[in-house]
Chain A
Amino acid sequence: MTPWVLRRLGQMVLVLLGVVTLAFFMSYAVPGDPARLIAGPNADAATVASIRHQLGLDASLWSQYTGFLGRLARGDLGTSYALHGAPVSEQLALALPTSALIAVGGVLWQVIIGVPAGIIAAYRPGRAADRIATLGALVGLSAPPFWVGLLLIYYLAYRLSIFPLTGLGDPMWWYLALPTFTLGLAGAAWYARMTRTQMIEVLRTPYIQLARAKGLRERTILLRHALRNVLTPLITMIGMDFGYFLGGVLIIESVFGLPGVGKLTYDAIDQLDIPMITGAVLCAAFFVVVMNFLVDLAYAAIDPRVRNRR
């Protein structure tokens, strides 16, 4: 088991290095001159050149790259061009908790809504419960989240005043209830579909028939024998979504006025704030890669066949 984990860790580091390199060249190749942007349209050539020198943009590509890597290793993502020279890592650290809360909440809602719906639908395919769940999934899949979010804000926050309108406050979960629900509802339909398909497949297997023939309780059959076999694809989805949401979910953040990574990234792109964009991209990629690794670890924990294959 351990050598496999080490190998997998090594792979992860390689992928991250690739992502870092890509991010560097992306920021290098981007159109527009950041020095000119900072200096303003009226600055003369000498000013622009001195700013370029300050930013290290006049050094060779290689030394810029190694400098970038060296700073990265120290957790230094550079300073924002736009936000008065604020360190990028600081800005990300400010936005990340919000995004993390949105991500956790969104994934939780997806699982809470989607998985039971999928199980119920799979239990008696074609029956009423299945049809209701399928219809619900269709609505969930086709309803744009910003529209659902606005509806929720209008009815539950504005008209009925049950929830706060926008922004963050105390208690946190009160403010995050609607945004995370909106995010979760959009994804829950995928979870329901995937769970239903997998569950139907599993419920047909001989080992479930044997579990029934053994006179086990329905609950035991479902939780001990069936669900465990649906868990692998489910964990993939959870892990991927979590990593993805940690990179910021712009629509949710803008509809509900939340200061997360999505908003930060959007503003950075708007202002051609290259260090900030690079930092956000690296942050998003980092979470996706790490979640991928954790998903693989979870596989191995669940399935003895995976443990032995590697």
Chain B
Amino acid sequence: MSALLDVEDLVVRFATPGGEHTAVRGVSFSVRAGERVGIVGESGSGKSVTAQAVLRLLGPAATVAGGAVRFDGRDVLAFDRGELRRWRGAQAAMVFQDPLSSLNPLVRIGRQVTETLREHLGLDRRAATAKAAELLASVGIPDAAARLREYPMTFSGGMRQRVAIAIAISCAPRLLIADEPTTALDVTVQAQVLDLMDGMTADLGTAVVLISHDLGVVSTFCDRVLVMYAGRVVESGTADQIVEDPRHPYTRALLASIPSLEGELPRRLPSIPGTPPQPGRAHTGCAFADRCPLAADVCRAEDPEPLELGDGRLAACHFADRSAG
């Protein structure tokens, strides 16, 4: 089966006052129709930049310096303004991290839902309003028709994220990219929002790219997982493979930092010792070497190429063929 989304060797650079730096350094992955792919990694590893590059949402400071993005075999990076506009929102949609700032505070909720319907489905005002009320009801917002006339400030964070999901799925897109959709929410609300996303996308057969820094969330929601570190995919495989038999020491460290649900909660959330390399600072060898328990001379000399491990999994580590001891 051919891929719905195909990202190949994507490179994204930022021009900053301090100089140019590369935030995404050759990321490749593909998503099949209806599939769920997770992207995990610490903050700053390039997850959001990758997502924004796919939807061509990067700001003027960023340039896609290399690689390809194909959707259904079409070259997304070559889309003109019209093609881009007809594609975004209709076939590929996005949910952002912060529901408090991703809805326009000065525009009524109804307008923010109907404008996508009117643009892509060509509905008139009345039909769009009816559909919007239906959509809000379907994401669990009580009294939906009346709430269309309200502004975002009267909605809680969880409710706003429900609205954002309603907007995203309103035109039955084939791909939904959700960039940390639950990170800003309370723990109890997080589970509800994930459940909602699960149900809505399953009904529509929408493929999902779920971005999170939480490997626990990603591995339960997704079929396959990519682990990103310092702008690269360092390991990828099925969710089971990643959780049960991680091959990259960084993945193991991420797994170890998930608090166990049994026993006492740890005082502080465990985190991986050390910090990721400064963006923009050139380094030789593996970007994780300084924090890696397995680091050897070869790691500081040579950046490891992704290694095929069979069963479609990859790991970019000189010692990837060793299982955890």
A interface list, Cβ under 8 A from B: 124-126, 204-207, 209-218, 220, 224-225, 228-229, 302-305, 308
Contacts and interface: CB of A to CB of B under 8 A. Distances in A.
Interface residues of B, number: 34
Interface stretch (B88-96, B200-208, B293-301): B88-96
Given A124-B60, A308-B153, 17 more contacts: A209-B52, A212-B88, A213-B88, A213-B94, A214-B89, A214-B93, A214-B116, A215-B87, A215-B88, A216-B116, A220-B119, A224-B107, A224-B115, A302-B106, A303-B106, A304-B105, A304-B151
A218 B107 CA distance: 17
B102 A209 contact: yes
Which of A204, A224, A308 has most chain B Cβ within 10 Å?
A224
A216 B105 contact: no
A215 B86 contact: yes
B115 A216 contact: yes
B5 interface: no
A72 B103 CA distance: 50
Contact of A205 (B55, B94, B101, B119): B101
A126 B81 CA distance: 22
B137 to A, nearest CB: 20
A213 B106 contact: no
Nearest to B171: A215
Nearest to B88: A215
A228 B107 contact: yes
Contact of A225 (B86, B88, B107): B107
17 contacts: A205-B101, A206-B97, A207-B101, A207-B102, A209-B52, A209-B57, A210-B103, A212-B57, A213-B88, A213-B93, A215-B116, A216-B116, A217-B85, A217-B119, A224-B115, A225-B107, A304-B151
Interface in B107-139: 107, 111, 115-116, 119-120
B59 interface: yes
B89 A207 contact: no
B106 A215 contact: no
Nearest to B106: A228
B271 interface: no
B98 interface: yes
Interface in B36-86: 52, 55, 57, 59-60, 81, 84-86
B104 interface: yes
A229 B59 contact: no
B164 interface: yes
Which of A206, A212, A214, A220 has most chain B Cβ within 10 Å?
A214
